[in-house]
Amino acid sequence: MSHQITTLKDLDSRLSLTDNERAWHESAVSMPLGISEYYLSLIDPSDPADPIRRQAVPTSDENCARGWLRPASAEISPTRCASAGDRGQNSCSEDSQRASRCVTSGAEVSKCGRRQIDCSNEVTQGVRIMPSSELYAENNKKKSDAMAEFPCAAFESLDPLQEVLHSKGNRLIHRFRNRVAFLATDICATYCRHCFRRRFTGGLQGPATEADVEEACRYIGGHPEIREMLLTGGDPLTLERSRLEMMVSSFRKARESLVIRICTRIPVTDPGRVTPELVEVFTRHSGAPFFLMTQFNHPRELTPLSVRAVGMFIDRGIPAFNQSVLLRGVNDDPDVLDDLCNGLLFARIKPYYLFQTDLVSGTASFRVPIERGMEIERALRCRLSGLAMPSYTLDLPDGGGKVPLCGSYVDGIDGNVCTLHNPDGETRLYPAL
């Protein structure tokens, strides 16, 4: 891997940090700092709000220390009400006398156990562990009341997608029936400050071992329903070629028909690492196809070097798909995403997903309100071709799966008449039969 900036001193000498950026180093509790020389070179040092800088330079907004201590599957639940003396009781005459203000949202916060949620420092208090989805469903009503009242980041956790709960061994996650994710390494060329897997990324565990790979192969061998693997991390393309080769050939042996997605940001953050020899680690294996899954979030990341890196895979028969994350201050603007998606298409990369930022502790400053996200999605749908249009999607917490956020264009069906509206808002009729 090429040289990485990892210290406050080095970073400050290159970018002249803001107070908010410097403050991260005083109480950093999350992912380490790590920016490749190449990615740093894309940053405009004179612009503190530069979209590339925002993705790579940590700020104190991440330092949600108590959020980091919060268990992965914490469930919101009213705690014991000191006055009513009953957990979960829905009325308490003491409420009005015990109210205070949330320092983040300004919303009124009850100190009574009825809705004991403190939005300060983006941390939920009054939580208890409820690992099962049935119990999650049980509490939905209480949760929606709380969400309505406290729209700040009180619902974040370290592992909102419950990957830990779905782990099968050291590095394998089996969350969806027909596919698994294998965490090849926790190392990345640049640590993205919005990373949804930050509980693991940069955590000094290093590359998966042969024993980890064997364990994963045994599991896959015993589960014929598994059709696809996401080779992910961290970034698998930071691995030494020999180790990557060991993994790919082992997985191919375990299941010849296994479709493998190579999930990587290397073409974005350190494209010089992609060489014909690296691509050959994959192309020398026949059988099921490989797919390259990239994460370009801003059109300025589409440089000649990055486009060439992806092109090396495409030229050797590995198609490329892009999964962007909708990020406040980076790409929450239809003009920016229009440029990005058309640029991707021109580079032969299919815009696949535009993800709502997951509810991961320390990422609240990146989150775009869903209503605004849907506005952006509608604007893009008017401008982009179907091929250039990504699917705006959120990954539901607690393993609930992916849900498209495109709204419905069907207003109703009456007999043989289907009433629809198009992205421009015009009402049209279409035969329903």
Site residues (CB under 6 A) for ligand SF4? 188, 191-192, 195, 197, 201, 233-235, 265
Query: What radius of gyration, in Å, describes the C-alpha atoms of the chain?
Result: 23
Tell me if 301 sits within 8 A of 54, measured CB to CB: no
35 vs 92, beta carbon nearer ligand SF4:
35
Provide the phi-psi class of 415: left if phi over 0, else alpha when psi is between -120 and 50, else beta: left
DSSP 3-state of 311:
helix
CB of 192 to ligand SF4, least distance (A): 3
CA atoms of 250 and 216, how far apart (whole Å): 10
162 vs 324, beta carbon nearer ligand SF4:
324
CB of 55 to ligand SF4, least distance (A): 8
CB of 174 to ligand SF4, least distance (A): 19
Tell me if 290 sits within 8 A of 262, measured CB to CB: yes
195 vs 344, beta carbon nearer ligand SF4:
195
CB of 317 to ligand SF4, least distance (A): 24
77 vs 190, beta carbon nearer ligand SF4:
190
CA atoms of 210 and 170, how far apart (whole Å): 11
150 vs 296, beta carbon nearer ligand SF4:
296
CB of 10 to ligand SF4, least distance (A): 19
Q: Which residues contact 18 (CB under 8 A, 6 or more apart)?
A: 48, 59
84 vs 354, beta carbon nearer ligand SF4:
354
Q: Which residues contact 328 (CB under 8 A, 6 or more apart)?
A: 365, 366, 367, 368
Q: Which two tokens stand for residue 381?
A: 């749908």
Alpha helices in 31-190 (DSSP H): 37-41, 51-56, 65-69, 133-138, 140-149
What distances in angstroms separate CA 233 from CA 81, 181, 261, one per listed residue? 43, 9, 12
Tally of CB atoms within 10 A around 80? 14
CB of 35 to ligand SF4, least distance (A): 11
77 vs 201, beta carbon nearer ligand SF4:
201
CB of 159 to ligand SF4, least distance (A): 14
What distances in angstroms separate CA 194 from CA 52, 185, 197, 226, one per listed residue? 12, 18, 9, 29
Which position has the token pair 């979960």? 88
154 vs 188, beta carbon nearer ligand SF4:
188
CA atoms within 13 A on the CB side of 430: 13
CB of 180 to ligand SF4, least distance (A): 17
